[in-house]
Amino acid sequence: MCIPRTKPITPTPPFPQGPAEASKKDSRPVNRCDHLGSHPFSDTQDGLFRAYLSPAHAATCKQVALWMHEAGMATRTDAAGNLIGRYEGQTPGAPALLIGSHLDSVRNAGRYDGTLGVMLGIEVVAHLAAQGERLPFAIEVIGFGDEEGSRFPASMLTSRAVAGTLDALPLGTVDASGTTLHDVLHQNGLDPARYLEAAYKPEQVVGYLEAHIEQGPVLEAAGLGVGVVTAIAAQYRFKVSIQGVAGHAGTMPMSLRKDALAAAAQAMVAIERIGANGPPDLVATVGQLHVGPGASNVVPGQTTFSLDIRAGTAQVRDQATTQICEALQNIADERGVGLSIELQNDLPATPCNPALTACLAASVTRITGQAAHHLVSGAGHDAMVMAALTPVCMLFLRCHQGISHNPAEAVRHDDAHTAFLVMLDFIRAFATTTAHKPTEFSA
């Protein structure tokens, strides 16, 4: 018998703080993320939602630009709506090390996904400027406008524009209000015809560093504040449709049913089993489910669900995909229902640059006194796009229980301070070696 829940769900408690927390309560990057966590920096009064080129996005860029100026940077908005702050090197106009992440968010978001990486970049520059320290390269901190794809059905538009991988802009695509991307650009003073001018030339850049919350539980389980990313997972995203036969729930015998929802349920169990039986970096997820006709007294005749498959390598992802597709087809055949599996997104695995990653790992060791923990990112990031332009590396920060894309998202102030120190050490080490020369690397 099902017992109705009568007690309210207890919200996730605050992130337990570490012993160094008492001296790090004023961690500026974290506090700034908190400042940006509500109206007018959110498009909703309840919770955080910051959509690309929305009023909240404009307010956020205005505030972040002010912090960039205070840190010693000159700021500009590029043709794609990205906010960029530049700190010149020893030679004006020198190629730049890019430090970036995104300023947009999903709906009902946490405060640190993306934004913390931008705030850490600003903090590093502020420290260098306060010391009067100039480097052989410039530093440009980029707040990308669209990573999540939460306004228009196309993610990473702005980093793809910067990386020069966006062949054409989907100007006719519309947001939830029916407004086209073309019109939204015009409303924000951006010329759609010039959007692709946001692209950098490879010789203008020496590398890309992104700091980001892990969005997973690995670092917390290991008791570590930071980790080094070796690769960003390969990803497939499918739309799966199962066509059965709708019928009266009271008169259709169980033995004669072609229940699309029952078939989908069996399919999801198979997806979970195959995902769980694979290597640790393999994950398979069903996050959306639609049932038709959706009446309580009708046997479901049609279901559609999402299928997301990710792994550290394309080989593991593809092998699991084959197994899942075969399992779903067998279920459909046994139940006598129709099956359609439509590929909607294909993202290849993106390895981080080995030399930059080794340099970043060495910085982690120097700052923490521990060997750097290496891990694969299951989530996509702007770094995976930027790898087409320049060598990339990523630093992960621990987040409470691995929770992200959720108001319960939480980070420790002492971890943010550690990340700041690691980034600063990395930049200085990078500057004292030949590693900052683009010819030393392949992207």
Instruction: Inform me whether the pLDDT recorded for 357 exceeds 60.
Output: yes
Length of the chain: 443
Give the model's confidence band at 441: pLDDT under 50 very low, under 70 low, under 90 confident, else very high: very low
Can you give the C-alpha Rg of the chain in angstroms?
A: 24
* Chain-centroid distance, C-alpha 49: 15
Percent of the chain with pLDDT over 70: 92
pLDDT of 5 reads 36
pLDDT tens readout for residues 114-145: 999 999 999 999 999 999 999 999 999 999 99
What is the rounded distance in angstroms from the CA atom of residue 44 to the CA atom of residue 48? 6
pLDDT tens-digit series, residues 338-347? 999 999 888 8
Domains of the chain: 19-233+349-440 (3.40.630.10), 240-347 (3.30.70.360)
Question: Any long-range contacts for 324-332 (C-beta under 8 Å, 24+ apart)?
Answer: 324/270, 324/271, 324/274, 324/284, 327/267, 327/270, 327/271, 327/274, 328/240, 328/267, 328/270, 328/271, 331/263, 331/266, 331/267, 331/270, 332/242, 332/263
User: Crossing angle of helices 413-431/354-368, nearest 10°?
Assistant: 130
Report pTM. 0.82
Query: Mean pLDDT over all residues of the chain?
Result: 91
Phi and psi angles of residue 332, each rounded to the nearest 5 degrees, phi first: -60, -45
**Per-residue pLDDT tens over the stretch 175-203:** 989 999 999 999 999 999 999 999 999 99
Kindly report, residue by residue over 39-70, the tens digit of the pLDDT.
Answer: 999 999 999 999 999 999 999 999 999 999 99
Name, of 16-30, 57-71, 230-244, 373-387, the range with top average pLDDT: 57-71
pLDDT at residue 22, as a whole number: 33
pLDDT at 433: 81
Binding-site positions for Zn(2+)? 102, 113, 148, 212, 405
pLDDT digits (tens, 9 = 90+) for 391-400: 999 999 999 9
Residue 437: pLDDT band with limits 50, 70, 90: low
Residue numbers belonging to the annotated binding site:
102, 113, 148, 212, 237, 297, 310, 405
Tell me the average pLDDT across 396-421.
Answer: 96
Contacts of 440 (CB under 8 A, 6+ apart): 355, 434
- Which residues are registered as beta bridge partners of 99? 141, 209
User: Could you tell me the two tokens for 146?
Assistant: 């669209």
Residue 435 has pLDDT above 50, yes or no: no
% of the chain exceeding 90 in pLDDT: 84
Predicted local confidence at residue 339, as pLDDT: 98
Binding-site residues for allantoate, in ranges, read 237, 297, 310
Lowest mean pLDDT among 3-7, 158-162, 200-204: 3-7
